[in-house]
Structure 1
Amino acid sequence: MLDANLKSQLKAYLEKVTQPFEIVASLDDSDKSAELKGLLDDIVGLTDKITLKTDGDDARTPSFALNRPGVDIGLRFAGIPMGHEFTSLVLALLQVGGHPSKESAELLDQVRNLDGEYHFETYFSLSCQNCPDVVQALNLMAVLNPNVRHVAIDGALFQDEVSERQIMSVPSVYLNGEPFGQGRMGIAEIVAKLDTGASARDAEKLNAKAPFDVLIIGGGPAGAAAAIYAARKGIRTGVAAERFGGQVLDTMAIENFISVPETEGPKLARALEEHVKAYEVDVMNLQRAASLTPASEAGGLHEVAFASGATLKAKTVILATGARWREMNVPGEQEYRGRGVAYCPHCDGPLFKGKRVAVIGGGNSGVEAAIDLAGIVAQVTLLEFDSTLRADAVLQKKLYSLPNVTVVTSALTSEVKGDGQKVSGLVYKDRNSDAFVSLELEGIFVQIGLLPNSDWLKGTVELSPRGEIIVDARGETSLPGVFAAGDVTTVPYKQIVIAVGEGAKASLSAFDHLIRSV
């Protein structure tokens, strides 16, 4: 099952296991069970700390549980955790085997102190880059707290469950049989939803913090670069982010970040956070900015208020809140979001195996999505508003070579249709004839660009008609002492490498402002 190189790496990791445990597999005579058995045999063959039992009786097959001798931890994988979930498997093996988590002691104690019974089920796909964060968080919670149980379920393998629960987006999390959440969630976010007093306690801690020399709002590439450059100047630096990594977390393959031939978004996001935390930077996660109150006088303090109720003060502020997926804004889109309307083809594509889908958008993202989906679904229809596709020529050549892809240009999507439960089709307007055309399908993947996360700044800093923060060559905004960087600004070409440079520039400008203000 595992190649020699992967076995060698896994063997090195398993040397960190300090206490014995067992894997209990529930198998049948299917090919997938045989495949899982091969994987588990490989694992137990690499260490004498793990034993394998194949007498499990779980209703989901193939599946396996990780148990300590005489203790049912409540941690199970239903399916074969390869692809993006292989890391989740490795971490689960280590943590059940006694290797400590890198999460903060405060957060781990918060998990241990949760009262009540929590039975989680997470539906994932092996190609989903957002799913591992959720799976790993809930697995760790199961290891730490006997009241928490978690099963991670491969939605592509257990299609009957997916259909019964009408799951059309991953990760989808159920708690005690009821929907709990969709999309990327880290352990801190999950605990905050369970521990209702956590947000208020965090806000109280933030309110007590001394003013920063520079406060960066946003934890994407621009925010991370700004934090590093500020910290290296020896000034008091803080980063408040809704989720560290930003839009990069939703990016699959990255092949144009100079000096890094190939990586994935979540991996780069972790590297950014680790680099920032190598310096004296106060990182405050799960903080969504709500308003900015500029300093009333030169040398005064700017104030940023957050949705949590917290307020932070700083001599200078760098706005690096990035962007989000642009929506179609047509009838039915919001009603069927997560029920056939999706924005991540890598995450949700496997749930539409053998079905008909549409991709909205003919740029690089849309064409890449159509190419990837064509290998999974029965039929892809790509709709582009313009008269020609805007994607790179090499991508278009690949797209037009696929037999199950239809390209429609000059098409304005006007409505998402559904049966009350899930998507059943869409309507588009032919811009050449003004005729309306209906398509019957089960999924719609929207890939039409990004919108700046600047709504909270309206009326405070000068914005462009597109909602971008207007900046000059130094990253200065219309407010003295307030700078901006990255995809939220008017700087052209929304690229990671450009955002990093702009973040560094804004930070240097903020430092220059500080020394000139003394």
Structure 2
Amino acid sequence: MLDDALKTQLKAYLEKVAHPIELVASLDDGAKSKELDALLLDIAGLSDKVEYLGDGNDARRPSFAIRRTGTDVQVRFAGLPMGHEFTSLVLALLQVGGHPPKLPDDVIAQIRAIEGEFHFETYFSLSCQNCPDTVQALNAISVINPNIRHVSIDGALFQDEVEAREIMSVPTVLLDGKPFDQGRMTVEQILAKIDTGAGERAAEQIRRKEAFDVLVVGGGPAGAAAAVYAARKGIRTGVAAERFGGQVLDTMAIENFISVPYTEGPKLAAALEQHVHEYDVDVMNLQRATALVPATEPGGLIEVRLAGADGKPGASLKSRSVILSTGARWRQMGVPGEDEYRNKGVAYCPHCDGPLFKGKRVAVIGGGNSGVEAAIDLAGIVRHVTLIEFDGRLRADEVLQRKLRSLPNVDVIVSAQTTEVIGDGKRVAGLLYKDRDSGQLHRLELEGVFVQIGLLPNTEWLKGTVELSPRGEIVVDDRGQTSVPGVFAAGDATTVPYKQIVIAMGAGSTAALSAFDHLIRTSVPTRTAAPEMEAA
């Protein structure tokens, strides 16, 4: 099952296993069970601390548990955790085997102190780049506290179960059989939902913080670059982010990041966060900015009000300068039925959710690069794709359009305006669109709608405080300065054209340097140090 290169790598990892572990499989006569059997045999053959047992009695087949011998410490997978989930498998083997998860000591103590029993189920797809974070977070929690159980389920393999439970988006997490959450989740986000009082404790910690010299709001590429450049100046730097990585976490393939021919969004986001943590930067995750209060006098403190992961009003942070890098989110169509059927057939990530629509009919809304790429990807999974574009022609690169036109199960409709998503109350059944030339209404029968119509800046909380463009973007000059003294901005939330990762990073660096220049001209930093020279 594993090639020689993977076996060599996995064998090296398994040397870190401290306690004997057992692989307990539940199999049937199907092809996937045979593949799982071969995979587990390969793993057991790489370490004398791993024993393979084939006597499991789990109802899901194929599935297997990784169990610490003689204990109730275990994690379970239903399906073959390959693709993006292979890392989840490796980490589960190590952690059940006694290798500690990479979590702060206070977080580990918080997990151990949680009382009660919890049974989590996570539905994933092997092509989902966000699923591993959720799977790995819940696996780590369940290893630290055995009263918290977790099973990860390949939705494409257990299609009947997905249909019965109406799972139409991944990752989807159930707790004790009931919906818990959807989308990428970190350990901290999960704990905020199951550990009562966690939000207030986090808010209290924030209230006790001293004022910053530079406070970065947002943890995407622009925010990360701003934090690094500010910290290198030796000034007190903080980052408040709802989720570190931002929109990059939802990006599958990145092939135009200069000097890196190919990477994936979650990998880049992890590298950004690691780089920021190499400096003396106070990173505050799960914090959503709700209001900006400008300084009342030149050189005074600017206030940023926050809400925690539970959505309740939290604490406030103060700083001598602020860099806004709140990024953007997927733009919605804004038509009846879209919100009602979100994650019930209306989706925004074809890589994540595409496998759940195997053999079905779907539509892709949007004829730019994202929309055409989504249609091409989905065409290899679903029965039929209809791409709908508002304009009179597609706007994607010609090379993508040629590929699209070569696919036999794709139709393209231009000059079409989607007017409604329709369903049966539980899931999508079709959509209505208007022919913009004739005005005639048409109905498409389908099971899924993938929306790919661009991004919307996360700036609603700034209305009435800083100048925004008609599109809601923060208006900035060539130094990243906003209309409010001491407040700078960078990245996809601003009027800077071309929403690209490399451009956001440059803008974040510019904003940090501008903020530092502002500080030395208007106030005395709280902690000074000789500026570090940049490498030529």
Cα distance between partner residues in 1 of 2:74 and 2:448: 34
How does 1:86-101 map onto structure 2 within 5 Å? 86-101=86-101
Report what 2:478 is aligned to.
473
Deviation at 1:125, TM superposition (A): 0.4
Equivalent pair of 2:68/2:74 in contact (CA under 8 Å): no
Letter of the 2:30 partner, please give it: S
Deviates more, 1:64-73 or 1:415-424: 64-73
Question: Helix, strand or coil for the counterpart of 2:216?
Answer: strand
1:377 has 2:382 as partner: yes
Report what 1:397 is aligned to.
402
Letter of the 2:503 partner, please give it: I
Report what 1:35 is aligned to.
35
Deviation at 1:43, TM superposition (A): 1.0
Cα distance between partner residues in 2 of 1:501 and 1:2: 41
Deviation at 1:74, TM superposition (A): 4.1
How does 1:226-241 map onto structure 2 within 5 Å? 226-241=226-241
1:362 has 2:367 as partner: yes
**RMSD (CA atoms):** 0.7
Cα distance between partner residues in 2 of 1:45 and 1:319: 52
Cα distance between partner residues in 2 of 1:72 and 1:448: 48
Q: Deviations over 1:471-511 (max 9, x none)?
A: 00000000010000000000000000000000000000000
Letter of the 2:498 partner, please give it: Y
Question: Helix, strand or coil for the counterpart of 1:310?
Answer: strand
Question: Helix, strand or coil for the counterpart of 2:276?
Answer: helix
Identity %: 73
Equivalent pair of 1:454/1:467 in contact (CA under 8 Å): yes
Cα distance between partner residues in 2 of 1:393 and 1:399: 10
Question: Helix, strand or coil for the counterpart of 1:94?
Answer: helix
Cα distance between partner residues in 1 of 2:335 and 2:475: 29
1:314 has 2:327 as partner: no
Q: 454, 462, 473: which one pairs with 2:459?
A: 454
Unaligned 5+ residue runs, structure 1? none
Q: Deviations over 1:172-210 (max 9, x none)?
A: 111011110111111100000001200011001101100
Report what 1:211 is aligned to.
211
Q: Deviations over 1:295-347 (max 9, x none)?
A: 00001000000013110000000000000000000000000000000000001
Q: 472, 487, 493: which one pairs with 2:492?
A: 487
Cα distance between partner residues in 2 of 1:406 and 1:333: 22
Report what 1:430 is aligned to.
435
Q: Which runs of 4+ in 1 moved over 4 A?
A: none
Equivalent pair of 2:371/2:452 in contact (CA under 8 Å): yes
Q: Deviations over 1:399-453 (max 9, x none)?
A: 0000000000001000000001100000000001110010000000000000000
The alignment's TM-score, normalised by the length of structure 2, stands at 0.96
Letter of the 2:258 partner, please give it: I
Report what 1:259 is aligned to.
259
1:76 has 2:76 as partner: yes
Q: Deviations over 1:74-111 (max 9, x none)?
A: 41000000011111101101101111111111111111
Cα distance between partner residues in 1 of 2:187 and 2:98: 19
Equivalent pair of 1:359/1:447 in contact (CA under 8 Å): yes
How does 1:81-160 map onto structure 2 within 5 Å? 81-160=81-160
Cα distance between partner residues in 2 of 1:316 and 1:300: 9
How does 1:325-336 map onto structure 2 within 5 Å? 325-336=330-341
Q: Deviations over 1:367-414 (max 9, x none)?
A: 000000000000000000001101111111000000000000001000
Report what 1:50 is aligned to.
50
1:345 has 2:342 as partner: no
Letter of the 2:507 partner, please give it: E
Q: Deviations over 1:217-266 (max 9, x none)?
A: 00000000000000000000000000000000000000000011100000
Letter of the 1:145 partner, please give it: N
Cα distance between partner residues in 1 of 2:48 and 2:21: 10
Deviation at 1:11, TM superposition (A): 1.5
Equivalent pair of 2:365/2:388 in contact (CA under 8 Å): yes
Cα distance between partner residues in 2 of 1:200 and 1:55: 46
Cα distance between partner residues in 2 of 1:490 and 1:10: 47
Unaligned 5+ residue runs, structure 2? 309-313, 524-536
Cα distance between partner residues in 1 of 2:258 and 2:45: 40
Letter of the 1:389 partner, please give it: L
Letter of the 2:50 partner, please give it: I
Cα distance between partner residues in 2 of 1:358 and 1:183: 21
Deviates more, 1:3-12 or 1:140-149: 3-12
Letter of the 2:468 partner, please give it: L
Equivalent pair of 1:23/1:65 in contact (CA under 8 Å): yes
Report what 1:248 is aligned to.
248
Cα distance between partner residues in 2 of 1:471 and 1:274: 28
Cα distance between partner residues in 2 of 1:477 and 1:5: 52
Cα distance between partner residues in 1 of 2:19 and 2:71: 13
Report what 2:529 is aligned to.
none
Equivalent pair of 1:74/1:148 in contact (CA under 8 Å): no
Report what 1:504 is aligned to.
509
Equivalent pair of 2:22/2:69 in contact (CA under 8 Å): yes
Deviation at 1:162, TM superposition (A): 0.3
The alignment's TM-score, normalised by the length of structure 1, stands at 0.99
1:441 has 2:439 as partner: no
Cα distance between partner residues in 2 of 1:401 and 1:8: 40
Letter of the 1:379 partner, please give it: H
Letter of the 1:338 partner, please give it: N
Report what 1:177 is aligned to.
177
Equivalent pair of 2:74/2:96 in contact (CA under 8 Å): no
Cα distance between partner residues in 2 of 1:134 and 1:295: 39
Equivalent pair of 1:88/1:136 in contact (CA under 8 Å): yes
Cα distance between partner residues in 2 of 1:455 and 1:404: 40
Cα distance between partner residues in 2 of 1:264 and 1:370: 19
Deviation at 1:73, TM superposition (A): 2.3
Report what 1:387 is aligned to.
392
Cα distance between partner residues in 2 of 1:443 and 1:299: 53
